A and B are shown apart, each in its own frame.
Chain A
């Protein structure tokens, strides 16, 4: 069974630009969560989607948004990029939402903002 895939793997953007990252979950998984990983903060929860609906959102500004499509693929968008948005963005899929499902992580997208 194919794992979670994320595209692109690496991205360099300039301050003020916007970016869209994509995540394709494991086939049959309907829940997708997004995380930001920075050296100082560790892994931080961004949002969780299930059946095209955002279930939860972490403590991030409104510049961070996402969506999920009917095939469970998800995208996240960051507008008006700031230097501090440079991070590894991971998505994870699970069969169902909520906190008791094992999450399967993708390889991540490394975003650098200059």
Chain B
């Protein structure tokens, strides 16, 4: 059974501050790492799919890094805004005959005005 851990479980951040959180995954049999944003009453929205060690991806104020050798990825949000409030999920895929994406339980981010 694959173990994908996200920390912290929840996070309160002041508007305008920057923040980051972690996704840990198995360092063997890596194929892909996904990040999704899930806002209340909406569907999960894809942020990034990362496949190579050292990958850095950016979308607006959100960026992510990947270290497949040690099994972690960081998600960064610069200058947090209230609309960034959501649960951020990472998901690991080991390729081949893998059982689909294995999701972490998410980091629940609340931006306080």
Residue pairs across A and B with CB atoms within 8 Å: the count is 67
Pick the 9 closest A-B CB pairs, nearest first: A99-B93, A45-B100, A102-B46, A43-B103, A105-B43, A99-B32, A42-B105, A105-B44, A100-B32
From A100, which residue of chain B is reached at the shortest CB distance? B32
Report yes or no: B46 in contact with A58, Cβ–Cβ below 8 A.
Answer: no
Report yes or no: A45 in contact with B46, Cβ–Cβ below 8 A.
Answer: no
Q: A57-B99, A102-B46, A103-B34 are in contact. List 11 more A-B contacts (CB 8 A).
A: A42-B89, A42-B106, A45-B99, A45-B100, A48-B100, A56-B98, A59-B99, A90-B43, A100-B49, A104-B46, A107-B42
Q: Mark B27-55, 1 if CB is under 8 A from A, else 0.
A: 00001101010000011111001010000
From A44, which residue of chain B is reached at the shortest CB distance? B103
B101 at interface by CB-CB < 8 Å: yes
Report yes or no: A100 in contact with B93, Cβ–Cβ below 8 A.
Answer: yes
**Which size bracket describes the interface of B in this complex?**
20 to 34
Residues of B within 8 A of A47 (CB): 100
Please report A residues at the B interface, Cβ cutoff 8 Å: 3-4, 33, 35, 42-48, 56-59, 90, 92, 98-108
Residues of B within 8 A of A105 (CB): 36, 43-45
Report yes or no: B100 in contact with A58, Cβ–Cβ below 8 A.
Answer: yes
Q: Which residue from B43, B46, B104 sits with its C-beta under 8 Å from A42? A: B104
The verdict on A107 contacting B99 (CB below 8 Å), with A100-B31, A100-B93, A101-B49 known, is no
Report yes or no: A56 in contact with B44, Cβ–Cβ below 8 A.
Answer: no
